[in-house]
Structure 1
Amino acid sequence: MSERRACRVLGFDRTTIRYRSSRDDSALRERMRALAQTRRRFGYRRLHILLRQEGVVINRKRTQRVYRELGLTVRQRRGRKRAVGTRAPILAAAAPNARWSLDFVHDQLADGRRFRVLNIIDDATKRCRAAVVDTSISGRRVVRELTALVARHGKPDLMVSDNGIEFTSNAVLAWCAQTGIAWHYIAPGKPMQNGICEAFNGRMRDELLNETLFRSLDHARACVADWIEDYNTARPHSALGYLSPAAYAATFTATGARLRNPDQLRRAPLAPTAGNRQTHAAALLPAG
């Protein structure tokens, strides 16, 4: 059947069939391609946030359409493991310095030498307090780094880590007794009890370690420092309403209570956050 007869039978105007958009997306395409090359592991949602921050006010669906047309879809590196059984609720920090999480992530240099990164995360603001890069990090080194962090940012109420020998060493135990900071060790074989730091390690591996060839230890330290600075101050975080950790931390008062000013608590332009947030100054709250 011809197009003319088909449109007449269905009651369609032929102009709807032959319509071609005259909208010019060339500038948007070039900018999105440039952002995607810089942020190789960002999807269209975070690219949309970055465009909005630059003053490009467009609809999210338009961003998604151009993103797909440019073939910028991020390839998933591995299948996601599905949890089985009943999940127990974890404690969620409700104020800065209520809880810090620690964990190691490993990688290697171009010459095959391996190195480690000690990541220390503030669970409430998702801010990375420190990322220590070295070939060997002992319990004494962990204590030195924590002492320096406490002097700069204040003393946390609780530290959370796995049962690695660096965290269970005599140096760490003596430091906890001296400072009065409580230290909680997760159950063996249960990394999701330290899920916030594990999620941070996954982002670091996906966006930095897997994307960079490190020539030397100094090069690795410089790259990690630049990525941490960008993560804390510029990278939009979905769990924080697509604010950066530094911007989200600015919504807390000195007593740890959340501010209620709408200008300081601007909402995510795409979708609501993952869960309801508490606005009082309790240190730890049960979250499902």
Structure 2
Amino acid sequence: MDDSIKRWTAKRKTALVSEIIQGKTTVAEASRSFDLTPSEIEGWVEDAKRGMENSLRANPLDIREQYEKQLKDLQEAYGEAMLELRARKKAASPAGCAGRELIRSIQQGLLSEGIMVSIAKLCAWFGVPRRTVYYTPTKAAPKVDPRFADPIKEMIEQEPSFGYRTVAWLLGFNKNTVQRIFQLKGWQVRKRAIGMRPRIQAVPSVATAPNERWSTDLARVWTGKDGWASLALVIDCHTRELLGWHLSRSGKATTATAALEHALIARFGTLGRVEREFLLRSDNGLVFTSRHFTALVRSYGLRQEFITPHCPQQNGMVERVIRTLKEQCTHRHRFESIQHATRVIGDWISFYNHRRPHQALAMRTPAEAFRLAA
């Protein structure tokens, strides 16, 4: 060896390792001579042996093994790519799925075809964190207190058309609590679909004080063996109070006259000319435009006003009362006769005037609204 070389270059290491392999020196002698550790010299020897082994391995058989390994790796990569493509096609089919539901649905779809793919691989393909798939929600389902739910259920079974405000007022519960229970239980009243229809500009059927404007209209009611009957109603447009009504087998002017006289007695206590003239609104039906009815209205000191033809929304207050009466009363009973219908409708009108709250009256009943206004 050339002792003038001071640095342990690759050439100097090769010379020392060759002497040790040839037996000219030992690891211990080299360690003492060159002030090196035995482990360091042994590491050089092992590296040299591995290098010689690799250089001698380059024969046709080894090259074939390398090609076969590369081909196998390519086949595995191609198979995984095709599997990922299949999974992505399945991911396009379920609509509205994301995260955990997406990964689970894809795995189940592939499993049904006999292909097992791990959750980790699917998450890597679709960029979904694994913790999203494995996460189990711990939030408990909302609980409903039976102290509130039972009375509410009992009331809406009796009156299915009652909304949450009416139920809350009648039971003395907080309306937000009742609304929440309605939502959780699916007890909301379904609203009727209303399409877009043209409206004209006209004076609405409203009043700023009692006995300023009344409104009247007719409705048809099935009374069993007595057939169809006509129901005439009269309401005060300010208090929404049903003042007069009459159910008759004939739809003549006498039916509307009886309802009007009933309203005058209920409000003023007697029949006769009113002290101050006020309006009576109606549609243009033959009953309300007849000579008998118009003469009677004038004799009591009232002044008639008629809505625009084919515009029932201008008489909306009494039309809305008729709808409420049908939903909550007449459509829920199978009347046997006109006497049976008269009794049931009379009970409901009493309930409407004295017990049923009205949202437009700040959840007061029509009778309470009249007392406050008077």
TM-score of the pair, normalised by structure 1: 0.74
- Note the 1:148-187 alignment, pairs <5 A: 148-154=262-268, 155=274, 157-187=278-308
Q: State which of 165, 173, 192 in structure 2 corresponds to 1:45.
A: 165
Q: Give CA-to-partner distance per residue, 1:57-97, whole Å, 9 cap, x none.
A: 4x60x322321332322234x42143325533435211111
Partner of 1:231: 352
What residue identity is the alignment partner of 1:47?
Answer: V
**Pairing 1:20–2:134 present:** no
Partner of 2:178: 63
Q: Is the 8 A contact 1:163 1:185 kept in 2?
A: yes
Q: 1:201 to 1:96 in 2, by over 3 A?
A: same
Structure 2 distance, partners of 1:175, 1:129, is: 17
The structure with more helix, counted as a fraction of residues: 2
Q: State which of 209, 213, 220 in structure 2 corresponds to 1:95.
A: 209
Q: Is the 8 A contact 1:100 1:122 kept in 2?
A: yes
Structure 2 distance, partners of 1:214, 1:244, is: 27
Q: Is the 8 A contact 1:99 1:160 kept in 2?
A: yes
Q: Is the 8 A contact 1:109 1:214 kept in 2?
A: yes
Q: State which of 242, 246, 251 in structure 2 corresponds to 1:132.
A: 246
Partner of 1:35: 155
In structure 1, stretches of 5+ residues that fail to align are: 254-288
Q: How far does residue 238 in structure 1 lie from its aligned partner after superposition?
A: 1.3
Partner of 2:339: 218
Structure 2 distance, partners of 1:115, 1:142, is: 13
Structure 1 distance, partners of 2:280, 2:368, is: 23
Q: 1:112 to 1:225 in 2, by over 3 A?
A: closer
Count of equivalent residues: 240
Structure 1 distance, partners of 2:149, 2:138, is: 24
Q: How far does residue 43 in structure 1 lie from its aligned partner after superposition?
A: 1.9
**Pairing 1:110–2:215 present:** no
Q: How far does residue 175 in structure 1 lie from its aligned partner after superposition?
A: 1.6
Aligned residue for 1:167, secondary structure, equals coil
Q: How far does residue 104 in structure 1 lie from its aligned partner after superposition?
A: 0.6
What residue identity is the alignment partner of 1:147?
Answer: E
Q: State which of 252, 256, 259 in structure 2 corresponds to 1:142.
A: 256
Aligned residue for 1:103, secondary structure, equals strand
Structure 2 distance, partners of 1:32, 1:175, is: 47
What residue identity is the alignment partner of 1:35?
Answer: M
Partner of 2:22: none
Q: Is the 8 A contact 1:107 1:114 kept in 2?
A: yes
Structure 2 distance, partners of 1:141, 1:116, is: 8
Q: How far does residue 203 in structure 1 lie from its aligned partner after superposition?
A: 0.9
Structure 2 distance, partners of 1:116, 1:176, is: 20
Structure 2 distance, partners of 1:203, 1:24, is: 30
Q: How far does residue 117 in structure 1 lie from its aligned partner after superposition?
A: 0.7
Q: Is the 8 A contact 1:131 1:224 kept in 2?
A: no
- Give me the identity figure in percent: 26
Q: Give CA-to-partner distance per residue, 1:159-210, whole Å, 9 cap, x none.
A: 1111222211221222233233111121211111111111111111111122
TM-score of the pair, normalised by structure 2: 0.58
**Greater C-alpha Rg:** 2
Q: How far does residue 38 in structure 1 lie from its aligned partner after superposition?
A: 1.8
Q: How far does residue 141 in structure 1 lie from its aligned partner after superposition?
A: 4.0
Q: 1:204 to 1:91 in 2, by over 3 A?
A: closer
Structure 2 distance, partners of 1:74, 1:244, is: 21
Partner of 1:75: 190
In structure 2, stretches of 5+ residues that fail to align are: 1-118, 121-129, 269-273
Q: 1:135 to 1:22 in 2, by over 3 A?
A: closer
Of 36-45 and 219-228, more deviation after overlay is shown by 36-45
Aligned residue for 1:126, secondary structure, equals coil
Aligned residue for 1:132, secondary structure, equals strand
Q: 1:94 to 1:176 in 2, by over 3 A?
A: same
